[in-house]
C-alpha cells in the first residue's frame, strides 16, 4: 500500500480510503447496506491490504456505520494506526437543531459520533454540505473549539461550490481558526466539473482531495444500464445515481472505458479508479465495496499505469454537466 499526506498536514493515509456507507444496517438504504456481521470482513480485509483510512458519516444508517467502524478498529487494528474520517450536517433526529452546521448541532453531533465510534478523538471531521442557514463564522468557531479541545485533529469539507469553500478558508484564516485540510468532492470520469475551479484551488492552497464516487456509484464498473438499473441490489434501487448520471454522454465515456480496459485485459473499474487516483490533485479516492473481490480489485488498481494516450482517449468523450451532488 502507498501512503500520502493529507494536504499540508503530517497525517499519512493510504492511497485508497474505504467508504463505510454500505456498512451498518439502519432504515436508510436498508435494501443494500450490510449488517454488522457481514460488514466486519471488509474491514479485516482492508487492514490486511494496508488501508488505514476510513470515511463514514453520522447520517449513514442513522449512525450504525460509525458503530461498525469503531468495533472493527477494536477487533482488527489499533486506534493509533487508523485514520477515522466522519462527517456532520445530515439529519440526526426530529428536532429543529438536529441537522446543519450550527454550533449547537456540531457540539451534539461530535459527542454522539465519538460515543458511537468508541474513541476519544476524530482524525478528520468534515462538513458534509454547505449550510445556507447558518453564518459560516459560527460554524468555523465551533469547529476550531473542537480542535482546541482535542476532540478533533483535522477539519475537512465535502461537496460545495468553490466560492463557498474559498469563503470558508478566508474566514478561518482571518480569525486564526483551524483551516480545512481536505475537500471531498464528487469526481470521476463522467463527472469532472470540479476540474474547473475546485481542484485548482485545492492544488494552489495545499488542500487534500478525497473524491467520493470515483466509480460513479458503479456506473464505471459496468453494473448500470441505460434503463437506470443493474445487477446489484444497490444498482436496482439507487435513485440518486439515476439523478447524477445516465446522460447519453456518460454512456459514451463508459464505452470508451470498456474499450481501453479490454485492450489492457483489465476490468473497467480498475482503469477508472486508476485514472482518478493518478490525477495530480487527488490524495485518496473513497471506494465502496459490498463484495470482497471489489475491495481486492480496488487495491490492485493502484498498480495500473495509464499512458498519456490512454488518458487522452478516456477524457475525450466528456461533455460539461450541470453541477450535481451539492445537496
Q: Which residues form the catalytic set?
A: 60
54 three-state secondary structure: strand
How far apart are the C-alpha atoms of 251 and 245, rounded to whole Å? Answer: 9
Spatial CA neighbour of 168 closest among 189, 146, 183, 186: 183
For residue 237 the three cell numbers come to: 434501487
How far apart are the C-alpha atoms of 103 and 137, rounded to whole Å? Answer: 10
How far apart are the C-alpha atoms of 259 and 272, rounded to whole Å? Answer: 12
Letter string b/e over residues 283-299, b meaning 16 or more CB atoms within 10 A of that residue's CB? bbbbbbbbeeebbebbb
For residue 214 the three cell numbers come to: 470515483
End-to-end Cα separation, the chain, in angstroms? 33
Are 282 and 258 spatial neighbours (Cβ–Cβ below 8 Å)? Answer: no
Q: What are phi and psi of 34, to 5 degrees?
A: -100, 145
Q: Which residues contact 45 (CB under 8 A, 6 or more apart)?
A: 292, 295, 296
Query: How are beta strands 122-127 and 3-5 bridged, if at all?
Result: unpaired
CA angle 44, 45, 51 (to 5 degrees): 95
For residue 12 the three cell numbers come to: 499519512
- Write down the residue that cell numbers 479485516 correspond to: 44
Amino acid at each position: 500500500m502507498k501512503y500520502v499526506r493529507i494536504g499540508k498536514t503530517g497525517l499519512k493515509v493510504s492511497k485508497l480510503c474505504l467508504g463505510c456507507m454500505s456498512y451498518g444496517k439502519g432504515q436508510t438504504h436498508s435494501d443494500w447496506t450490510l449488517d454488522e456481521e457481514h460488514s466486519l470482513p471488509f474491514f479485516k480485509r482492508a487492514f490486511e491490504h494496508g488501508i488505514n483510512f476510513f470515511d463514514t458519516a453520522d447520517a449513514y444508517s442513522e449512525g450504525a456505520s460509525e458503530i461498525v467502524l469503531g468495533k472493527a478498529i477494536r477487533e482488527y487494528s489499533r486506534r493509533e494506526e487508523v485514520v477515522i474520517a466522519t462527517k456532520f450536517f445530515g439529519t440526526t433526529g426530529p428536532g429543529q437543531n438536529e441537522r446543519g452546521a450550527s454550533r449547537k448541532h456540531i457540539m451534539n453531533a461530535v459527542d454522539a459520533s465519538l460515543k458511537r465510534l468508541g474513541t476519544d478523538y476524530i482524525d478528520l471531521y468534515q462538513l458534509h454540505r454547505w449550510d445556507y442557514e447558518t453564518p459560516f463564522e459560527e460554524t468555523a468557531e465551533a469547529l476550531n473549539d473542537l480542535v482546541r479541545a482535542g476532540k478533533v485533529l483535522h477539519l475537512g469539507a465535502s461537496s460545495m461550490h468553490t466560492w463557498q469553500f474559498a469563503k470558508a478558508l478566508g474566514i478561518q484564516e482571518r480569525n486564526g481558526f483551524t483551516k480545512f485540510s481536505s475537500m471531498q468532492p464528487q469526481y470521476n470520469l463522467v463527472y469532472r466539473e470540479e476540474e474547473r475551479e475546485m481542484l485548482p484551488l485545492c492544488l494552489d492552497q495545499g488542500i487534500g482531495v478525497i473524491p467520493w464516487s470515483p466509480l460513479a456509484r458503479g456506473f464505471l464498473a459496468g453494473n448500470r444500464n441505460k434503463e437506470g438499473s443493474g445487477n446489484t441490489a444497490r444498482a436496482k434501487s439507487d435513485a440518486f445515481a439515476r439523478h447524477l448520471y445516465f446522460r447519453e454522454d456518460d454512456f459514451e465515456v463508459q464505452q470508451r472505458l470498456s474499450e481501453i480496459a479490454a485492450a489492457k485485459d483489465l476490468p473497467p473499474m480498475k482503469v477508472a479508479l486508476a485514472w482518478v487516483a493518478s490525477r495530480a490533485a487527488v490524495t485518496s479516492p473513497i471506494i465502496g465495496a459490498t463484495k470482497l473481490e471489489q475491495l481486492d480489485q480496488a487495491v490492485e488498481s493502484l498498480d495500473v499505469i495509464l499512458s498519456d494516450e490512454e488518458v487522452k482517449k478516456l477524457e475525450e468523450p466528456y461533455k460539461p454537466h450541470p453541477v450535481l451532488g451539492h445537496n
